[in-house]
Structure 1
Amino acid sequence: MSIIGWLFGHSNDDARASGDDVRAALERIVRIAPHVRLANRYEARLTTAVGATLRYVRGLVDALPMPRDATPAAWADDPHLRAMFATADDIARVIGQSNELRRWFDEHYVADHACAVLSSRFVERRVLTAGEEDGVMRADVPRVAVSFDDKRIRICDETDAALRHDIVLRLVEQLALEGMSRVAAQDARREALHEEHALLSARMQMLGRRGAGVSGLSGASSLSADASTDIARLERDIADNEAALAALGSRAEAVEQQLGALMEVLADPAAHIRVTQRTLRVNQMNLVVDDASNERAADLTLNLAHLPMQPPETRAVEFVRIARGDLPPAGTALDDAARWVL
């Protein structure tokens, strides 16, 4: 059994598959952080953390439902599509706005369908609507309305399995980006501390010069009590500054710092990426309905992805299946954009 198989406890066949996944993940990581290649035994040191991350994110991706047909023809009979899209034409519009989907169909000219990720910003807000409250019709009944804004289709592949595999590796990339952002924050902090150190040193020199030149001929103390206090405070500030710089390490240690940041993030992926399920009962106006209500409504199960982005963002995600025939002509989206601009 290979070392990958020993680490993950798989048979030889499964170990080879896991080894391929680990190697693919490592390749994507070093594209984002190429200097990590210079670290001693970087592959061996990252393998355990990468394996833990792969198991975690694969579990998240595998738990997502099978793709639903995102087609205008399915809108009337699919409560989920009706909740996300105001009309059947909105489905065609969102599909047509995806340059990535168009590019994929152009590159796979024999494919009739594509599996893709549909994501949107899930929004809840309080509204006042007309309704019955305590047996009395009122015009200001408080309700919760939900909406799905900023709908995007940017990741697609030929099959559901291929799409899920790509998503797993993309999540690894996202974690690598999070690790590198920590290194960038450390670099920015180091630069700020160096600037602060230069200012403190300049201030110290200015105070020290007060006893220089002919002022020392008088025999009086060259520094006032206030100046002595200022120097003591500056000495403490300089010491704190140098301690903070020492804690960050030198620029020569940057490679090890990058590797350490990556290992820290990859070892605990759940702290940065998670998917939560939420079930809502909504009517045709996308107003939340209580379970005890007799109002006509449908149950929606949402998968909300929490991702380490700046700023942090929570998006509703699902896999969809899109037919080439539902992709509007290329000029349609451009015409709509031009009309909005004008």
Structure 2
Amino acid sequence: MKLFQSIFGGETRGRYPESLIDLATERAVDGTDSRLRLLPGYRKRLREPVIKAIDHVVALVDSIQEPLPADAREHGLEPRLAAVFSSAGDMLERFGRDPALSAFLASAEGRGFGRVTALLLAERVERTILGMDLVGDQVRRDVPQVAVSFAGHRLLDPHSSEAETRRQLKRRAFDHLLTLALTRIAETRVERADLTRQRDLLRRKVNALERGGWSFEPVAGGVQDPATLLAELDAIGAQLNDLGVDQGVLVAHLGIVVDILGEAPRQLWAEPITLCLDAMNIQRDARDPSARSIEFLELHNARGRRVVVLPLSIAPGELPAREDLVTAAQRYLQ
């Protein structure tokens, strides 16, 4: 299963080599139910939906703005950084602890570069609080206010090349569609014992693919290494094959994949949002002198998940030095 092969590159919408369409088609099968290859004509049935999905993810990622410099100085000048991070120090500390960025900087291709491009994801949280506010010419207490905060900060697909980061994001977006299809397949109601076992295996596959970084969802415990992931997926595939093949079930599974890929814009999309916030991230009327109008791009999927996305250009030289565990333990024991 070539789950980690390189797909996408410098394509523009509607102009794809047959090699990309072939790779994406086989990836759609491997990423959902590999037994779909037993169905005659599966490639022909998937061709148009796959092209529609490629069209969508290429346009989606290409529409994301250019990376924003995320330096300590820029935090005080750029409202988006100031809204998402409480301070420049908080921003750099989060970058320094991010597992994806740390792994890239520790790799052979990540050493020695002055800038790294990555996509920041953060969940927008709104809550009503009681605070002080100026009403007319009087200061009043316990005034209901909406405070906006951001949680779950994480970086995706860091690389020294913006083009490579965007290529990886296109693959991630395509894979996210496949996890949505596989999730729907695994949720299909079944009653027979063998199909119940099949559904459980498919659910395990969803979880394994998400641990492999196949979606925009957070990964508990960090991304699993490819060798371990492939071994687990191969074991799941073998167990599915042992259960045998029900032609009707496979036809239904193929129909789900066709539907999800063919309806890609309704499965995964981005919406611009504008927040009017003061320096404390309290929502204000746009006419309020303290309000800053801040534009973000928010990524949504058909399962109701949403997350703010912000492409960043990070200077590794500004990140705080990471203390190794041995040194920390020795200092603690002294």
- Paired position in structure 1 for 2:28: 29
Aligned to 1:59: 59
C-alpha contact 2:14 2:55 (8 A) present in aligned 1: no
User: Matched residues in 1 for 2:16 and 2:176: separation?
Assistant: 22
- Provide, for residues 27-52 of structure 1, a one-character-per-residue CA deviation record: whole Å limited to 9, x for no partner: 43233132222222322221110111
Note if 1:300 corresponds to 2:299: no
Aligned to 1:284: 279
Match of 1:327 in 2: 319
Per the alignment, do residues 166 and 128 of structure 1 end up closer, same or farther by CA in structure 2, a change over 3 Å counting?
A: same
> What letter is aligned with 1:327?
L
Contact 1:96 1:332 in 2 (8 A): no
- d(CA) in 2 for partners of 1:21, 1:51: 10
Identify which of 154, 163, 166 aligns with 1:161: 163
Aligned-pair CA distance for 1:129: 1.3
Displacement after TM superposition at 1:141 (Å) = 1.8
SS of 2:48's equivalent in the other structure is: helix
Note closer, same or farther for the CA distance 1:192–1:129 as it changes in structure 2 (3 Å cut): farther
Report runs of 4+ in structure 1 exceeding 6 Å deviation: 13-16, 192-195, 332-336
Whole-angstrom distance in 2 between the partners of 1:31 and 1:194 = 19
Whether the 8 Å contact between 1:131 and 1:138 is mirrored in structure 2 is yes
Q: Partner of 1:268 in structure 2?
A: 263
CA deviation digits over 1:245-296, x for unaligned, max 9?
Answer: xxxxx8343332222110011111122212111111211100112122222x
* CA distance in structure 1 between the aligned counterparts of 2:15 and 2:271, rounded to whole angstroms: 31
Q: Which runs of 5+ in 1 are unaligned?
A: 1-12, 196-249, 337-342
User: 1:39-78 alignment to 2 at 5 Å?
Assistant: 39-78=39-78
In 2, Cα distance between the equivalents of 1:333 and 1:84? 29
Partner of 1:190: 191
Aligned to 1:315: 307
Query: Who is 1:81 aligned against?
Result: 81
Q: Distance in 1 between matches of 2:259 and 2:70?
A: 39
Equivalents in 1 of 2:282, 2:325: separation in Å? 30
RMSD: 2.9
The higher radius of gyration belongs to: 1
Structure 1, residues 88-114: CA drift from partner, whole Å, max 9, x if none?
111112111222212212231243322
Alignment-derived partner of residue 91 in structure 1: 91
SS of equivalent residue, structure 2 residue 51:
helix
TM-superposed CA distance for 1:78, in Å, is: 1.4
For 1:143 and 1:333, the matched residues in 2 are separated by 42
Counterparts in 2 of 1:271 and 1:89: CA distance versus 1, 3 Å: same
Once the 2 structures are TM-superposed, how far is the Cα of residue 138 of structure 1 from its aligned partner?
Answer: 0.4
Q: SS at 1:181's partner residue?
A: helix
CA contact (8 A) 2:13 2:58 kept: no
Question: Residue 15 of structure 1: CA displacement?
Answer: 7.2
- Structure (1/2) with the larger helix percentage: 1
CA shift digits 1:178-218 (9 cap, x unpaired) = 112222122x52347999xxxxxxxxxxxxxxxxxxxxxxx
Cα 1:84–1:14 shift into 2, 3 Å? closer
| Superposition deviation, residue 75 in structure 1 | 1.2
> Is the counterpart of residue 139 in structure 1 residue 141 in structure 2?
yes
Tell whether the 8 Å contact from 1:68 to 1:321 is kept in structure 2 after alignment. Answer: yes
Distance 1:257 1:103 in 2: 40
Distance 1:319 1:152 in 2: 11
Structure 2: runs of 5+ lacking an equivalent? 1-11, 197-244, 329-334
TM-score by length of structure 2 reads 0.72
What is the TM-score normalised by the length of structure 1? 0.70
Aligned length: 268
1:322 to partner: Cα distance: 1.3
Report if the CA contact (8 A) 1:67-1:321 is conserved: yes
Distance 1:93 1:332 in 2: 15
1:192–1:137 CA distance, 2 compared to 1 (3 A): farther
Distance 1:141 1:294 in 2: 18
